Amino acid sequence: MLQAGDNLDPLLKRPFSILDYDDELLYFLFKKKGKGTIYLSRINKGDVITLLGPLGNGWPAPQGEFIVIAGGIGIVPLMLLLKQHRNKAILFYGAKNENELLMLEEASKLVKEIYISTDDGSKGTRGLITEIFNDFLVSNSSCKDLTIYCCGSPPMLKAFSKLIREHNLSCYASVEEYMACGVGACLGCVVKVINEADSEGFHYKTVCKDGPIFNLKEIIWDQVF
Amino acid sequence: MGSGFLDVIKPNLSIQIATLKLKNPVMTASGTFGYGEEYSEFFDVSRLGAIVVKGLSMKPKKGNPPPRIVETPAGLINSIGLQNIGIDHFLNEKLPLLLKFKTPIIVNFFGDTVDEFIKTAEILSTHKGIAALEMNVSCPNKEAGWRIFGTDPKILKEVVSRVRSATNLPLIVKLSPNVGDIASMAKIAQDGGADAVSLVNTFLAMAVDVKTRRPLLANIVGGLSGPAIKPIAVRMVWEVCKAVNIPVIGMGGIVTYKDALEFLIVGSKAIAVGTANFLNPFATIEILEGIEKYMVEEGITDINQLIGSLVIDYERTYNN
Ligand SMILES: Cc1cc2nc3c(=O)[nH]c(=O)nc-3n(C[C@H](O)[C@H](O)[C@H](O)COP(=O)(O)OP(=O)(O)OC[C@H]3O[C@@H](n4cnc5c(N)ncnc54)[C@H](O)[C@@H]3O)c2cc1C
Ligand SMILES: Cc1cc2nc3c(=O)[nH]c(=O)nc-3n(C[C@H](O)[C@H](O)[C@H](O)COP(=O)(O)O)c2cc1C
Ligand code: FES
């Protein structure tokens, strides 16, 4: 989690994935949304910012070939996975338009195959990446056994959950929720997860500590988006 | 350790709340420090005056659906919904770990009914190692149309006095600030047998997404905490300190040692740090060190000289 400045507004640090690292630096890539990211975008070289981390779990290691599905800025937490397992992934990468297909060149060098889509058709196929993936599955049914690694907006994950269940695929997804503490203390960042031992069939898990990566099949989405 | 000079003038920070002796007045606020272990990775939590754990109930509670938190200017609205692991799990799994820390463990608890409050207090009281109980009366009462226990004088009196009879541990009543006259509620808690009162809990609040015209919390409303509430909290703590004889534990928006000093000066014997833990995991320790430094600089040798040392030059302007 990152925060620029030490003023009280915005109050909380914002969660970000690590894009990459080397001996000296951690690399982040973020999209300007509201106060937190606007302030972070204004920092200059030499400014001091606050970092709390690394937090939470990581991707389970892929065995052999695997599938990666990224929506827009959701590519960020997947880049290290692609880098650590070069030429093993089939990447499906979708965004609103060409400009939002970040790290496209870098990512395409790390993968075995790549499929691109944009909502407006400015690059790749026009349409949603989950639909492109669905079409791909129809003609490549052998790929149904490959593990999927996925990150994208909540609506995308929600749509994708349905597909995963229908085809009985195995998929890990990096999930987003608002965070306060980042260490599992406030219970503010929960998602609903299937729990068969429970009388109502679910319990809440924290995205910051138990996640952010969950087995997508286990997540219950009942929020309105 | 340290320079001989500082050793000589190291001020006394210890305070006492009923039979409970604390090495310093800095505690954690319930629900913001988990069960201690979450923050023990950052610093030696044994240095704290006390650890107050997340509110517990008889049975585990799932809590509210997400989104549960929303940030507002200098504040945080939460509707966690009192999610907790239940007292059995706490006593078996968490308490033994907590007892390794060399600081008193204060257990915050609540119930849906007066009976549940009593039963929970009874069970907690039979366990060795718990230093004190803090009852959270800012929770809804199943038997009174889910009205908040702590906002109804009659119910507050009943629940406090009955829990009092159920435990020999020091009993802290954590007051709800969502009332018209906080001082009278504090008196009720005192008359019911509380050894101390703590305040403030969060203020009932709401935030709306103007684009979607929907509430930002799934629960619609939640409790506001953080720097935004501090001036109201200081005022309430001051009013309560004037109204009761029992010790008062002050909290609400404390981020820096100066914030903590305000609460001590208006009369609270101890202070608790909540939301600030989220902003800075070292907040409690930095506040403790700040208080100590301030005392050295001001030549105050004992924290009790500071507590309640508010100077009011024009008392007559206050119409109490
Ligand atoms: C584990 C994790 C990793 C992330 N990694 C990245 C990353 O690498 N790069 C990146 O650009 N973003 C990432 N995000 C999202 C990023 O944290 C949010 O965009 C950021 O918190 C927005 O803060 P803000 O103050 O700019 O906007 P705010 O003013 O807080 O919000 C602006 C808008 O964004 C939405 N929003 C804000 N935070 C969240 C959230 N946590 N979940 C869902 N919606 C939210 C709100 O609905 C609001 O409409 C990640 C989130 C999580 C949980
Ligand atoms: C996420 C969160 C969870 C909380 N949970 C509890 C709780 O379980 N029991 C309780 O008595 N108070 C609870 N509180 C209230 C705090 O203990 C404290 O009274 C309040 O937040 C004001 O202090 P602050 O502004 O320093 O946070 C909670 C507060 C927050 C922010
Ligand atoms: S952000 Fe506090 S529990 Fe996840």
Over residues B236-259, the pLDDT tens digits come to 999 999 999 999 999 999 999 999
Please state the rounded mean pLDDT for residues A49-73. Answer: 94
pLDDT band of A8, cuts 50, 70, 90: confident
Does residue B4 have a pLDDT over 70? no
pLDDT for the residue numbered B48: 97
Does residue B6 have a pLDDT over 60? no
Strand, coil or helix: A76: helix
Give yes or no: B241 in active site: no
pLDDT for the residue numbered A143: 85
Which is it for strands A20-21 and A26-27: parallel, antiparallel or unpaired? Answer: antiparallel
Residue A215 lies in a domain: no
Q: Are A121 and A129 in contact (CB under 8 A)?
A: no
Ligand 2 contact via B55 beta carbon (within 6 Å): yes
User: Inter-chain contact B68–A188, Cβ cutoff 8 Å?
Assistant: yes
Q: Note whether A50 and A126 are same-domain residues.
A: no
Q: Note whether A23 and A123 are same-domain residues.
A: no
Q: Note whether A1 and A100 are same-domain residues.
A: no
pLDDT for the residue numbered A142: 85
Work out which ligand 2 atom sits closest to the CA atom of B54.
Answer: 8
Domains defined for chain B, CATH in brackets: 5-63+81-205+225-319 (3.20.20.70)
pLDDT band of B141, cuts 50, 70, 90: confident
Residue A203 lies in a domain: no
pLDDT for the residue numbered A225: 43
Ligand 1 first shell, C-beta below 6 A: A 10, 14-17, 29-31, 33-37, 73, 76, 176-178, 207, 212
Does residue B8 have a pLDDT over 70? no
Does residue B320 have a pLDDT over 70? no
Entry pTM: 0.94
Interface test with A, best of B59, B71, B80 (most A CBs within 10 A): B71
- Domain of A80, in residue numbers: 66-176
Tokens read off for B104: 């008193």
Measured in angstroms, how far is the CA atom of residue B36 from the centroid of ligand 2? 15
Ligand 2 contact via B29 beta carbon (within 6 Å): yes
Work out which ligand 2 atom sits closest to the CA atom of B251.
Answer: 23
Work out which ligand 2 atom sits closest to the CA atom of B273.
Answer: 26
pLDDT for the residue numbered B2: 47
Q: Note whether A81 and A46 are same-domain residues.
A: no
Q: Are A173 and A157 in contact (CB under 8 A)?
A: yes
User: Inter-chain contact A9–B74, Cβ cutoff 8 Å?
Assistant: yes
Beginning with the edge strand found earlier in the chain, give each strand of the sheet holding B130-136 in spatial order.
B26-28, B270-273, B248-251, B196-199, B171-174, B130-136, B105-109, B51-52
The average confidence (pLDDT) of chain B is 94
Does residue B42 have a pLDDT over 70? yes
Tokens read off for B130: 């718990």
Residue A191 lies in a domain: no
Q: Note whether A106 and A42 are same-domain residues.
A: no
* Complete DSSP assignment for chain B: ---HHHHHHPPB--EEETTEEESSSEEEPTTSSTTSHHHHTTS-GGGSSBEEPPPB-SS-B--PPSP-EEEETTEEEE---S-B--HHHIIIIIHHHHTTSSS-EEEEE--SSHHHHHHHHHHHHTSTTEEEEEEE--SEEGGGTTEEGGG-HHHHHHHHHHHHHH--S-EEEE--S-SS-HHHHHHHHHHTT-SEEEE--PEEEE-EETTTTEESSTTSEEEEESGGGHHHHHHHHHHHHHH-SS-EEEESS--SHHHHHHHHHTT-SEEEE-THHHH-TTHHHHHHHHHHHHHHHHT--BHHHHTT----S-GGGS--
Does residue B133 have a pLDDT over 70? yes
pLDDT band of B318, cuts 50, 70, 90: low
Does residue B316 have a pLDDT over 70? no
User: Inter-chain contact A190–B31, Cβ cutoff 8 Å?
Assistant: no
Out of A180-194, A195-209, B141-155, pick the least confident.
B141-155
Does residue B174 have a pLDDT over 90? yes
Does residue A4 have a pLDDT over 90? no
Residue from A11, A52, A55, A179 whose mutation best tests the ligand 3 pocket (most atoms within 8 A of CB): A179
Query: Which residue in A185, A189, A191 is closest to B277 by CB distance?
Result: A185
Q: Are B118 and B163 in contact (CB under 8 A)?
A: yes
pLDDT for the residue numbered B5: 53
Q: Note whether A74 and A154 are same-domain residues.
A: yes
Residue A196 lies in a domain: no
Distances from the Cα of B116 to the Cα of B70, B90, B168, angstroms: 31, 16, 17
Task: Tell me the chain B residues in contact with residue A202 when contact means C-beta distances shorter than 8 Å.
Answer: 62
- Split into its structural domains, chain A has a count of 2
Out of A132-136, B6-10, B293-297, pick the least confident.
B6-10
Q: Can you give the CATH number for the domain in which A113 is found?
A: 3.40.50.80
pLDDT for the residue numbered B7: 55
